[in-house]
Structure 1
Amino acid sequence: MAPQLITLTGADERTDIDALVELVRTNPLVEIGLLYTATPEGRPRYPSRAWLREAAAALSGRCAIHVCGGGARRELLAGELGDLTRHAPRVQLNGILTLDVATEACRFADTLITQHHELNQQLLGVPARNHALLVDGSGGQGIAPAAWMAPDTEKPVGFAGGLGPQTLADQLSAISAVANDGAWVDMEGKLRVKDWFSVEFARECADIFASATTSPTPVTRPRRRP
């Protein structure tokens, strides 16, 4: 099954918010991923909370908040990120989590996404119906896997790792072979130029995705692994 959404992650304070709004307006399958940390410290991919608040409001309903770091996680669980999450149907909570923390976090999002890897295997047991999983075998290093695999679950599953303008078209068919209902793709590192977000790269990926998913080709579904 072809992924149904593309998340373009990592817009920063140099990014024109109006350009992001135009990108989602003209591409109905696009979601903008906004990275939040409690300690941005001037790092390019972590905008200030004030900028994020403005961007999230402008993108209302067409963005996801990616919660990064222990401080931001504590803020989410304390219900202190409503100024951001109220505009985002999906919230991604990054890092290694306990089952209890992930389950509690589901209270603060329409859809709560956690990262799926060996150290988060227990999160397959999150009982909340609004829980989803993001598979990134590279651990955020932007490296495509030798083969895409998905956990054996009915939860929506997204895929990340090494995706960008030069790789997305080739990888989409392989991802479609293991994707389930509600699947999406997410990319960040390859949308950056000198560590700053590129709207041009994001737009190129949106166009590739739209072209591929509106003209799907039949695929053979391999067996999933546990």
Structure 2
Amino acid sequence: MNPSTVTSTTTNSVTLRFLGFCGVDESIEPDQLSAFSSQYPWAEWGVLFRQDKEGTPRYPREEWVEKLANEKTKQCSGGTTTMNLAAHLCGIRANEVLRGDVGFVQQLQQWGFGRLQINATAINGVDTSQLAETVPHLLQVIQKFPSLEFIIQKNDETEPLWQGLLDDETASPRGSLPHNVSMLLDESKGTGVLPVSWPPPPSQYRIGYAGGLGPETIVQTLPQIIQAASNHPFSSSIWIDMESRLRSTSTDGDDYFDLDKCHQVNAAVCQAGLVQTISI
């Protein structure tokens, strides 16, 4: 992809909080991610946690996560820009949070994760039959960790969960969310399918965009996202996230996280003027 083909149509009101690259795993060394973050501090590395798939592509084992956490610690101690880490909870890990269990959340905080995304969908191994009943338990977890940001997938399948949060008046005014909660708009539910359109940010809470984003689609989709987000209250607080299109297959047939594709996406985002500092 040639970054020069990206036309900047953005206004100063549209900037990215994070550029999310999800699915980092044991196919890449954490120090490579650290080096990328040092140059591009808006990058956020998303780690998928699902116990029944640990050690397979996209789902690293705990030993690798500890290496990643150590890289973040080294950056902090060295005085350089720290790495942004997001935990994407699936399967048992998501179910634990939904029933109010804070054990793994505490571990994630110790590892240096700043954001936690609850992937409460069937494709991510979560029982979605009683999501509405989990809202009070989830709120208790959210309130116990005010310094962590919790991300809820907003789609038709997760509606009982996010609508329950919006309707609850114990933690925030009706129609809004607690200060440390945001939503990811992804109707593809993590399957990497481009949406028909990108809705504008609501006035009550922060959002991110996902679904089909990657090096092959970023040029055509960025102007659409910019147009949707322009001149809205939270237009300076959006982020974009991607996963499936960051994968490649080696000559041996191995599926791996492709950092070159992250560089391609990052170049397009910089060219479009969606980050405060262009350093490419």
| TM-score, shorter chain, exceeding 0.5 | yes
* TM alignment of 1:35-74, pairs within 5 A: 35-59=48-72, 61-74=83-96
Equivalent in the alignment of 2:4: none
Q: Is the 8 A contact 2:269 2:275 kept in 1?
A: no
How far did 1:101 drift? Answer: 3.8
Take 1:150 and 1:53, find their aligned partners in 2: how far apart are those partners?
37
> In structure 1, which of residues 33, 49, 61 is the aligned counterpart of residue 46 of structure 2?
33
Secondary structure at the counterpart of residue 38 of structure 2: helix
Equivalent in the alignment of 1:211: 271
Take 2:236 and 2:204, find their aligned partners in 1: how far apart are those partners?
8
How far did 1:154 drift? Answer: 2.0
How far did 1:215 drift? Answer: 8.2
- Unaligned runs of 5+ residues in structure 1 are 217-226
Q: Using a 3 Å threshold, how does the CA distance of structure 1 residues 93 and 175 change in structure 2: closer, same or farther? A: same
Deviations 1:80-104 (Å, cap 9, x if unpaired)? 2233233011111111543224323
Identical amino acids, percent of aligned pairs: 29
Aligned residues: 216
Take 1:103 and 1:75, find their aligned partners in 2: how far apart are those partners?
10
Take 2:275 and 2:84, find their aligned partners in 1: how far apart are those partners?
23
Equivalent in the alignment of 1:199: 259
Deviations 1:38-58 (Å, cap 9, x if unpaired)? 222432110001211221332
Deviations 1:121-171 (Å, cap 9, x if unpaired)? 314346321100000021111011111114634211000001001111221
Secondary structure at the counterpart of residue 171 of structure 1: helix
Deviations 1:167-212 (Å, cap 9, x if unpaired)? 1122112112223331000000000013321111112212221221
Equivalent in the alignment of 2:108: 84
Q: Is the 8 A contact 2:49 2:93 kept in 1?
A: no
Equivalent in the alignment of 1:173: 223
Task: Give me the CA root mean square deviation.
Answer: 2.3
One-letter amino acid of the structure 2 residue matched with residue 34 of structure 1: V
Q: Using a 3 Å threshold, how does the CA distance of structure 1 residues 57 and 124 change in structure 2: closer, same or farther? A: farther
> In structure 2, which of residues 169, 179, 182 is the aligned counterpart of residue 129 of structure 1?
179
Q: Is the 8 A contact 1:32 1:64 kept in 2?
A: yes
Take 1:12 and 1:134, find their aligned partners in 2: how far apart are those partners?
22
Secondary structure at the counterpart of residue 118 of structure 1: coil
Whether 2:214 is the aligned partner of 1:189: answer no
Indicate the structure (1 or 2) with the bigger Cα radius of gyration.
2
* TM alignment of 1:106-125, pairs within 5 A: 106=142, 107-108=144-145, 110-121=148-159, 122=163, 123-125=165-167
Take 2:45 and 2:274, find their aligned partners in 1: how far apart are those partners?
20
TM-score (norm 1): 0.85
Take 2:153 and 2:62, find their aligned partners in 1: how far apart are those partners?
23
Q: Is the 8 A contact 1:135 1:150 kept in 2?
A: no
- Unaligned runs of 5+ residues in structure 2 are 1-13, 74-82, 122-130, 173-177, 230-234, 250-254
Q: Using a 3 Å threshold, how does the CA distance of structure 1 residues 135 and 191 change in structure 2: closer, same or farther? A: same
